[in-house]
Structure 1
């Protein structure tokens, strides 16, 4: 039963979900395809728990570097899933993503939600200075941009340049869910309202 998917090309992708044929009927299992889904191969899956809610997620930056989480644990691989390393971070795992230098994850530690970063191939997880909001925030990550929002209270937004991360006016209000995307030199934000229509915002990179 699929829960999350991540694709690095039209042919090569990953699916994380529950194997309903295992003894407990709820075993987290990661599989990958190299031919657009015509065939699938099981991949070593770290010791994920089965969350009460749908929090199983997978995200790969390329064929080798990827992450999986069950919402409380976060594991990374640098060899396509042969070996997995626990993050060691305590807290609730939110949005996952990548930038041009490594892994990104939003973590809520019981007090604040912060953006953490780790190099793709080595090193520890470190909080990114300044990208933090009090309380548990919904996070959105795309290449070069991050949003942290608490519905009805706050929505903060940062972009990355060669000089580092810079806070800018949020593209969406605190009453909208934010989804971010980056294509070439353009940054996009989908602001979704319930009920009501969504709105797509576009900004060029500086």
Structure 2
């Protein structure tokens, strides 16, 4: 059986997160935004190892990590969505592993890492990898989001200009971007922007301008 449900130029639907496609995208990207709640898996898997390698050789210029600090009202329910078969206290340990991994990267690469904590309820895991976008789904299920449906978008194949998603993340989706593709993908970028908050991404814009 093919590892995807549907494939057209610029769009693929995958049975579960396609790690090979994700690694391939990371290998090519110089700016990445991750909005995936917790990153405990990255502490010891191929994705985390590749991110570290590219940071070490300065091929990855900017990595934004949006880590979740859940509020009390929905913390326990969301824990059962993240890890449905795991006791709540064990999920808390995963948060700790995630925090430590993120903090270590920030310490090692202070200029390249934008580390952001959010209290906003996540609606879906979003991995913005240069000109590729991977979007999953959270659900009340006995399986995790990594095992669910994932959409992979190739923005160049879809007709967008290079770096469009990254530019939108820093500066916002303008009203001129009114094509169906831009509107659809812009929603995911806006979700990331909302998670980091206005004050944070305005400071990033200012810093980016200083560097250029």
What TM-score, normalized to structure 2?
0.29
Give the structure with the higher percent helix: 2
RCO comparison, higher one (Cα < 8 Å, 6+): 2
Whichever structure has more strand as a proportion of its residues is: 1
